Amino acid sequence: MLYNFLLPDEFVTSVYEITPEKLQALGIRGIITDLDNTLVEWDRADATEELAQWFAIMHEAGIRIIIASNNNEARVKQFAEPLGIPFIHRAKKPLGGAYYAALVQLRLKRDEVAMLGDQLLTDVFGAKRQKLYTFLVRPVAESDGFVTRFNRFVERRVFNDLKRKGIKTWEEQ
């Protein structure tokens, strides 16, 4: 299929659909997650109480998490440090370096790690190239930065083609 590297393994409407039980059933012990519009709105500085609780549940279940964001260090550090979550800033996704660095920091094998992100062209494409399990989450905000707006335009075309082929995304769920 033309979209093999763009088609996520699962579409989820929010991170809260991803539970330790779901991950354990898939053999997944770690998550590489995007930050902006995946976990919180791109212009929200800190985690919500609900998100902090989700991180705590994952931690208690032994699920390791690292944030890999294309954003700058100050943005990612301000979000991640209060939660005690390691991070990679200026990740240059979809290039492979950040994914490899995340696997090293998590001390897990590719088949034990999932990528959680909101963009096909950065998060899913990069993770698929690294043979990681992928979750595409519905963006938490309607607005995006300039580069992301271009990516969303391309995603619309991909989603429309998938719909014509009978493949359901979270848009139809």
Distance CA 160, CA 173 (A): 15
Calculate mean pLDDT across residues 2-21: 88
Strands of the sheet containing 64-68, edge to edge, are: 10-12, 133-137, 113-117, 30-33, 64-68, 87-88
Please give the structure tokens belonging to residue 139.
């963006």
Cβ neighbours for 38, distance < 8 A, ≥ 6 positions apart: 15, 116, 117, 118, 123, 137, 139, 140
* DSSP reduced 3-state for 68: strand
CA 123 to chain centre: 6
Higher pLDDT among residues 71 and 121, named by residue: 71
For residue 28, the one-letter residue type is: I
Residue (of 39, 2, 1) closest to 135 by Cα position: 39
**Average pLDDT for 122-132:** 94
Rounded distance, CA 99 to CA 54, Å? 22
| Mean pLDDT lowest among 1-15, 25-39, 41-55 | 1-15
The answer on pLDDT for 154 being more than 80 is no
Spatial neighbors of 84 by CB under 8 A, at least 6 apart, are: none
pLDDT recorded at residue 45 = 85
pTM for the model: 0.85
CA–CA distances in Å: residue 141 to residues 14, 88, 90 = 11, 22, 21
Higher-confidence residue: 36 or 146? 36
At residue 115 the predicted structure's pLDDT band, cuts being 50, 70 and 90, is very high
pLDDT band, very low/low/confident/very high, at 146 (cuts 50, 70, 90): low
User: What pLDDT, on a 0 to 100 scale, did the predictor assign at position 25?
Assistant: 98
Go through the domains of the chain in sequence order and give each one's CATH number. 10-164 (3.40.50.1000)
